[in-house]
Amino acid sequence: MHEALRTPSRPRRTVSVCLPARDEAPTITAMVRMCVDLRDAGVVDEVVVVDESSDGTASLAARAGARVHRQSELMPEYGPVAGKGDAMWRALSVLAGDIVVFVDADTTDPAPRLVTGLLAPMQHDARVRFVKGRYRRPFTGAGGHVTPHGGGRVTELTARPLLRRCFPELAAIRQPLAGEIAVDRDLLCALPFHLDYAVDVGLLIDAWRTCGADALAQGDLGVRRNRHQPLDALHVMACAVTDAILDRAAGEGAAAAPMRPPMAALATAEVAA
């Protein structure tokens, strides 16, 4: 455990790092090694990959030192895994840390800052319970041409304009769709999860509504390069993000899209049964 995660007023807080992965063989080894080095240095306590791949990602991750779970084998009673958000939700059932860090598995040049930059705001301010990664996103186009600030098309053209309009208090969040987050486990278990790519903006708005602005922070992760999805896939993502934001703007927490309930509600239901 990193010394800075201890404060005189707070007991030791453990950290789980979790990478949801679907066919990330080209990048998973370097990503896991970076996280495992942090584990060996005592900065984090466990490195877990939740995987649903057919390209050998799972065995590469295990070889690099991660504990690997197959997404579809986590909470199988909920049926087939419906997307990234569903995988994150099911992952909570096997993550032990007091703080849960999610990072995407497709970053092409992983640096420790990807994780330490998320933990830093919690170290500096005990009120912080939800940290969003903030970074510059280059866009690598056809032929390898790089536009230094060109990445994040759904972020810039859908998520940020809608947040600015519907939730102006969140307009300053630079990367509202970032998959890189560090969150108090208790908070994460109290929030519902979208099943798909809407999960990240949904958690952001719900964390802010639950805890207020003082509990939110952005962690400076530098530059992040990743694989780009084609426009038709981003159309689907943009629709999911639009629905998640507008559903919340329309009614007090009302969400039309299917969501997993707060993990903590399951525990309560089991006790009641």
Ligand X SMILES: O=c1ccn([C@@H]2O[C@H](COP(=O)(O)OP(=O)(O)O[C@H]3O[C@H](CO)[C@@H](O)[C@H](O)[C@H]3O)[C@@H](O)[C@H]2O)c(=O)[nH]1
* DSSP letter string, the chain: --GGG-BTTB----EEEEEEESS-HHHHHHHHHHHHHHHHTTS-SEEEEEE--SSSHHHHHHHTT-EEEEGGGSSGGG-S--SHHHHHHHHGGG---SEEEE--S-BSS--THHHHHHHHHHHH-TT--EEEEEEE--EE-GGG-EETT---HHIIIIIHHHHHHH-GGGTT-S-TT-S-EEEEHHHHHTS-EESSTTHHHHHHHHHHHHH-GGGEEEEEEEE--BPPPPHHHHHHHHHHHHHHHHHHHHTTS---S-EEPPHHHHHHHHHH-
For tokens 């560090």, name the residue.
182
CA 259 to chain centre: 16
By beta-carbon proximity to ligand X, the closer residue of 107 and 116 is 107
Residue of 45, 184, 200, 247 that binds ligand X (CB under 6 A): 200
Q: Closest distance between ligand X and the C-beta of residue 148, in Å?
A: 18
Read off φ and ψ for residue 73, nearest 5 degrees.
-95, -5
Label the pairing between strands 181-184 and 146-147.
Answer: unpaired
By beta-carbon proximity to ligand 3PG, the closer residue of 97 and 152 is 152
Is residue 45 a contact residue for ligand X (CB under 6 A)? no
Residue 139 binding partner per list ligand 3PG, ligand X, none, with a CB distance cut-off of 5 to 8 Å that depends on partner kind:
ligand 3PG
d(CA 273, CA 267): 10
Q: Closest distance between ligand 3PG and the C-beta of residue 114, in Å?
A: 16
Contact 55, 168 (CB under 8 A): no
Residue of 84, 160, 185, 225 that binds ligand X (CB under 6 A): 84
Q: Closest distance between ligand 3PG and the C-beta of residue 218, in Å?
A: 15
Residue of 106, 184, 206, 247 that binds ligand X (CB under 6 A): 106
Q: Which of residues 219-248 bind ligand 3PG (CB under 6 A)?
A: 228-229, 234
Residue 105 binding partner per list ligand X, ligand 3PG, none, with a CB distance cut-off of 5 to 8 Å that depends on partner kind:
ligand X
Per-residue x/- track, 114-153, ligand 3PG (CB under 6 A): -----------------------x-x-----------xxx
Residue 260 binding partner per list ligand 3PG, ligand X, none, with a CB distance cut-off of 5 to 8 Å that depends on partner kind:
none
For the chain, the residue count is 273
Residue of 13, 22, 90, 134 that binds ligand X (CB under 6 A): 22
Residue of 27, 57, 155, 218 that binds ligand 3PG (CB under 6 A): 155
Residue 106 binding partner per list ligand 3PG, ligand X, none, with a CB distance cut-off of 5 to 8 Å that depends on partner kind:
ligand X
Residue 84 binding partner per list ligand 3PG, ligand X, none, with a CB distance cut-off of 5 to 8 Å that depends on partner kind:
ligand X
Write out the residues near ligand X by the rule CB under 6 A. Answer: 20-22, 24, 83-84, 87, 104-106, 177, 179, 197, 199-201, 226, 229, 237
Write out the residues near ligand 3PG by the rule CB under 6 A. Answer: 137, 139, 151-155, 177, 228-229, 234
